[in-house]
Structure 1
Amino acid sequence: MHDPSHQPPTIGAIAVVMPAAGSGQRFGSAQNKLFAMLAGKPLWYRSAAALRAQTLVGRIVMPVSAADRVVFQNQFAGLVAELGIELVGGGDERSDSVRAGMMVLVDDPQVRWIAVHDAARPLVTDSDLTAVFDVAAQTGAAILGMPVPGTIKRAVGENEATARTQTVDRRDLYVALTPQVFSTGLLKQAYQKHNGRPATDDAELVERIGHAVAIVPGRSDNLKITYPEDLLVAEAILAGRTKITADNDPSERT
Structure 2
Amino acid sequence: MKYYAIIVAGGSGNRMQTETPKQFLLLKNLPVLMHTIKAFAQSDTQPKILLVLNKEQQAYWRRLCEEFNFRIPHEIIDGGIERFYSVKNAVDYIKEESFVAIHDAVRPLVTKTLIDHCFRQAEENGNAIASVKSSDSVRMLRNNQSSALNRDEIYLVQTPQTFSLRTLKTAYEQEFSTRFTDDASVVESLHEEIHIVEGERNNIKITYPIDLELAELLLKK
Answer whether TM exceeds 0.5 for this pair: yes
Q: 1:132: which partner in 2?
A: 118
Q: Which residue of 1 aligns with 2:155?
A: 174
Higher alpha-carbon Rg = 1
Secondary structure of the residue that 2:104 maps to in structure 1? coil
Who is 1:7 aligned against?
A: none
Residue matched to 1:155: 141
Partners of 1:78 and 1:137 in 2: CA distance:
38
Secondary structure at the aligned position of 1:57 is classed as: coil
Q: Determine the C-alpha separation between the residues in 1 that align with 2:35 and 2:120.
A: 23
The 1:80–1:201 alpha-carbon spacing in structure 2 relative to 1, beyond 3 Å, is: farther
Contact kept? 2:127, 2:195, Cα under 8 Å: yes
Displacement after TM superposition at 1:27 (Å): 1.4
- Is the alpha carbon distance of 1:80 and 1:171 closer, same or farther for their aligned partners in structure 2, counting shifts above 3 Å? farther
Give the AA of the match of 2:64. Answer: Q
Q: Name the structure 1 match of 2:212.
A: 231
1:196 counterpart SS class: coil
The aligned residue for residue 215 of structure 1 is 196
Percent identity, please. Answer: 29
- Tell me the CA shift for residue 78 of structure 1: 6.5
**Mapped partners of 2:147, 2:135: distance in 1:** 17
Give the deviation of 1:156 after TM superposition: 4.8
Q: 159, 164, 177: which one pairs with 1:197?
A: 177
1:26 has 2:12 as partner: no
Query: Which whole-Å deviations, capped at 9, do the CAs of 1:191-249 have from their partners, x for residues lacking one?
Result: 01x21112100001111111111100111110000011111100111111xxxxxxxxx
Q: What is the alpha-carbon distance in structure 1 between the residues aligned to residue 110 and residue 101 of structure 2?
A: 13
CA distance in 1, matches of 2:64, 2:113: 32
Looking at structure 1, the residues matched to 7 and 69 of structure 2 have their Cα atoms a distance apart, in angstroms, of 13
Quick check: which one's strand share is greater? 2
Distance in 2 between residues matched to 1:59 and 1:88, nearest whole Å: 13
- Asked whether the equivalents of residues 44 and 112 of structure 2 are also in contact (C-alpha less than 8 Å), the reply is no
Confirm or deny: 8 A CA contact 1:72 1:80 kept in the other structure.
no
Q: Distance in 2 between matches of 1:218 and 1:58?
A: 19
Q: Where do 5+ consecutive residues of structure 1 fail to align? A: 1-9, 241-254
Separation of aligned partners in 2, 1:211 and 1:90: 26
2:98 maps to which residue? Answer: 112
Instruction: Say whether the 8 Å CA contact 2:40–2:47 is kept in structure 1.
Output: no
The match for 2:43 is 54
Q: 1:64 aligns with which of 33, 53, 56?
A: 53
TM (norm. structure 1) is 0.82
Give the secondary structure class of the aligned counterpart of 2:162: strand
Pairs aligned (count): 220
Asked whether the 8 Å contact 2:11–2:22 carries over to 1, the reply is: no
Residues 128-187 of structure 1: CA deviation (Å, up to 9, x unaligned): 2222111101011111001011111123543xxxx4x32111212101100000000101
Answer whether contact 1:61 1:101 (CA < 8 A) is retained.
yes
Amino acid in structure 2 at the alignment position of 1:120: V
Q: Which amino acid aligns with 2:102?
A: V
CA contact under 8 A between 1:60 and 1:84: conserved in structure 2?
A: yes
Q: Secondary structure at the match of 1:142?
A: strand
User: 2: distance between equivalents of 1:190 and 1:78?
Assistant: 38
Mapped contact 2:43–2:113 kept (Cα < 8 A): no
Paired letter, 2:181: T
Q: Distance in 2 between matches of 1:19 and 1:135?
A: 21
Which stretches in structure 2 are left out of the alignment for 5+ residues? Answer: none
Alpha carbons of 1:166 and 1:34: their partners in 2 closer, same or farther (altered >3 Å)?
same
Q: Name the CA shift for 1:185/1:157 in 2 (closer, same or farther; >3 Å).
A: closer
